[in-house]
Structure 1
């Protein structure tokens, strides 16, 4: 069953003879839904089509979740199965059970090519407990389902940073590998974070200052990036750290978001990495929704809200980006929901597609990429969210580490 063709440190679909086998496939189909239970954005559902197409000769059992307990959209997987049926052009059977007799009977009666969707795994209270793979392997879900399947594939990169039952538990007891989404995420992000072709540039923005500074520290320390260009709120924090008076209203916003303590962190990174971190030369202030360009030397305590990088910075950043070989973007450069302050974000996006290898790390900037209709011009757009940020920051993701452990285990078994 196991062929071990890969040169990577995890197995993929290509390493298994999947014909006639029963595959337990963990997917991420968590989608925004309206109050009537209609799915509003099917991007994550569609993302797994390539994996499912490559498993057409097998019997596929889908494990997935929708939202979490307490949320209004915490509901069944029935709408997801319905949409997936349409995209696959064949019936995806929704099973109102996870590991009980009803679910096991359906799995046992499957024929090659069949696809079933089990119920929302988060309906089972133990699913969301953070435990080690060995502990998760000892749960009822694993003990009940594992005997009915041959191979476990994890295609849910977006939850790979969670040591949840359905993410890591089955890797302890079944031959395990990555689906196409997981495989592409890891290969693409590795090329970005470990340094692909040079020069390699990261452009970090948005409002999650702590995440951006973690990524900055990791990629500059590891050598994964030659330069990091800062935009958005994280740029304001770094400007304040460099001694610029960004204005009371902007400082108050930083404090309101709980990021005042990140100024000292930014100061340390600027001292350590110096000109490897790029800061805005000018910014765009919001004067009653009108864009006002101001050089950072003109900022003072009474300055208006900074809502974008300025024109001079846009020119400098875009020139550097389009002349780079590898570019990773994460987070918008400004308040891109307001048209006049979307300029920096949009120009950076347009510059990035001119590089040889371009990655969208996630966040609101992916919405702007879609708004511009440029999704297909990027080498990779991550669906990972928090998992992507953690990976770029050098954190070990439990879902990925469990696949690596499974690879080692079955490599050792092959030698016996």
Structure 2
């Protein structure tokens, strides 16, 4: 028996068992065709799924969230899973209805089925306490049809939702191999007191990032926080810099202007730690144009950090003992605005210890063949950063509670 506060696959006998396996295959999609553009997360679950060869595996997964353009069914995900695993996957266009229940009851050893997007269920997206989650129809229905629950969805484990938190509280549960690896790798970084320690935040999850920045600063384990992407635009605006009407409207659409005073306070209290871009790249008549911060406001959309910024940031990253990067520096899908993201990630490969997190950022890291140059490429975006900020992820906490509730010697496994 391991000494970890949660069970791992080594602790469980999964043979001939019905296993609910929560995975995270939430991926970027082609907006026109629905085609999956990156299979990194699919590949990350291969070892766990292969380890369950003698089980009846019921996959729980999601794609995006309600009201988002890429909120859709998992039909194309089923096809991608078959391609990655090289084995048949049953796709069930149902989650807790009669069709899904009958499919699960008829499974044989070695079968794998993928249920529909769990976020189609309102119970999955309603805010409630962990104990209330155990009383949802979702959890009650599926837990009565399965023997074990395994959470391999590290990237979604910062979300307190029934598919992540509810099941471990009502049935024997463990971490999957990917989950275990993520915890091991990120714990090494979390307990690393090396200096200089540098965090790089980008992407567009401003409110989540703001919370993590405050936690990191309170923990005093950071020397520099470099800001890029929409996060940087938000902090520049909060500092009192007019970034242009179009870019301010973008912040309004993301619903982040209410956090302006918080960001302003952080900048005032940490002038030497928070590093903002010195120049930016805008899209002018369809082309890239780098402009100095003093040239703002601009009537054009900001799409990347400027050349001077990524040269400056790359130097700071290379000089770091440990660097953690989360989120792209711009619209990296467009070649002219990919330079900031690419150069920052390449610089991470030269730091002594480097961790890259975030779905999109991780995808670029794989594309640049950085697997052997960086210490760890995490599947988690918000999850990896919240973990590194010292927060206990709801998904991991639920697994720990499960271990205390279901003692292996006392249950028939």
* 1:45 alignment partner, one of 39, 42, 47: 42
Structure 1 position 218, deviation (Å): 1.5
1:114 aligns with 2:79: no
Name which one, 1 or 2, has greater alpha-carbon Rg. Answer: 1
Structure 1 runs not aligned, ≥5 long: none
For residue 202 of structure 1, give the secondary structure of its aligned residue in structure 2: strand
- Say if 1:45 and 1:84, in contact at 8 Å, map to a contact too: yes
> Which one of the candidate residues 11, 15, 24 is aligned to 2:11?
15
Say which is worse superposed, 135-144 or 322-331, in terms of deviation. 135-144
Partner SS state of residue 201, structure 1: strand
Out of 289, 293, 297, the position equivalent to 1:291 is 289
Alignment deviations for residues 243-292 of structure 1 (CA, whole Å, 9 cap, x no partner): 6x556558745764554554432332233233122233455566653534
* Cα deviation 1:154-182 (Å, max 9, x = unaligned): 12234324333322222122111111232
Q: Secondary structure at the match of 1:206?
A: coil
User: Please, which of 17, 24, 27 is the counterpart of residue 23 of structure 2?
Assistant: 27
Alpha-carbon distance in structure 2 between the residues aligned to 1:113 and 1:221: 48
Rounded Cα–Cα distance in structure 1 between residues aligned with 2:96 and 2:235: 50
Number of residue pairs the alignment of both structures matches: 407
Gaps of 5+ in 2: none
Pair 1:272 & 2:269 matched:
yes
Q: 2:340 aligns with which of 344, 349, 357?
A: 344
Pair 1:63 & 2:50 matched: no
Distance 1:61 1:332, change over 3 A: closer
Cα RMSD, aligned residues only: 3.8
Are the equivalent residues in 1 in contact too, given 2:16–2:55 (CA < 8 A)? Answer: yes
**Secondary structure in 1 aligned to 2:270?**
helix
CA positional deviation for 1:62? 2.0
Farther off after superposition, 372-381 or 265-274: 372-381
Measured after TM superposition, the shift of residue 350 of structure 1 is: 0.9
Residues 293 and 163 of structure 1, relative CA distance in 2, 3 Å threshold: closer
Q: Choose which of 133, 153, 158 in structure 1 pairs with 2:150.
A: 153
CA contact (8 A) 2:203 2:328 kept: yes
Query: How far, CA to CA, are the matches of 1:287 and 1:141 in structure 2?
Result: 49
Please tell me whether residue 408 in structure 1 is matched to residue 404 in structure 2. yes
Alignment match, 1:84: 81
Greater CA drift, 390-399 or 320-329: 390-399
Q: Cα gap change, 1:165/1:377 in structure 2, threshold over 3 Å: closer, same or farther? A: same
The alpha-carbon deviation at position 300 of structure 1 amounts to 5.7
**Closer, same or farther in 2 for the Cα pair 1:322/1:113, shift >3 Å?**
same
Question: 2:152 touches 2:179 (CA, 8 Å); kept in 1?
Answer: yes
Give the Cα–Cα distance (whole angstroms) in 1 for the partners of residues 33 and 302 of structure 2. 39
1:213 corresponding residue in structure 2 = 210
How do residues 100-179 of structure 1 correspond to structure 2 at under 5 angstroms? 103-104=100-101, 106-179=103-176
Larger deviation, residues 269-278 vs 229-238: 229-238
1:228 aligned onto 2:241? no
Alpha-carbon shift at residue 230 of structure 1 (Å): 2.0
Which residue of 345, 357, 363 corresponds with 2:353? 357
Distance in structure 2 (CA, Å) of the matches to 1:47 and 1:241: 38
Return the alpha-carbon distance in structure 2 between the equivalents of residues 151 and 106 of structure 1.
17
CA distance in structure 1 between the partners assigned to 2:141 and 2:297 by the alignment: 64
TM-score w.r.t. structure 1 length? 0.80
Write out per-residue CA displacement over residues 116-151 of structure 1, whole angstroms, 9 at most, x where no aligned residue: 334444455534433333223233443343344322
Contact kept, 8 Å, 2:227 with 2:275, in 1: the verdict is yes
CA distance, structure 1, for counterparts of residue 140 and residue 398 of structure 2: 18
Deviation, structure 1 residue 202: 0.5
